[in-house]
Amino acid sequence: MSEQLSSAPDISRTVKKWLKKRGSLIMALHEIQNTFGYVPRSVSLQLAHLMDVPLARIYEVLTFYNYFRLDPPGKNTISVCMGTACYLKGAPKLVEAFAEELGVQEGETTPDGQFFLQSVRCVGCCGLAPVVVVNGTVMSKVDVSQVKEIIASCMQKEEV
pLDDT at 128: 96
The CA distance from 160 to 155, in Å, is: 9
pLDDT at 2 over 50: no
Cβ–Cβ under 8 Å, residues 63 and 26: no
From residue 19, alpha-carbon distances to 13, 75, 136 in Å are 10, 32, 32
pLDDT at 40: 94
pLDDT at 22: 80
Q: Model confidence over 65-118: pLDDT tens digits? A: 878 989 888 899 999 999 999 999 999 999 999 999 999 999 999 999 999 999
- Average pLDDT for 10-39: 88
pLDDT at 5: 44
Higher pLDDT, 3 or 103: 103
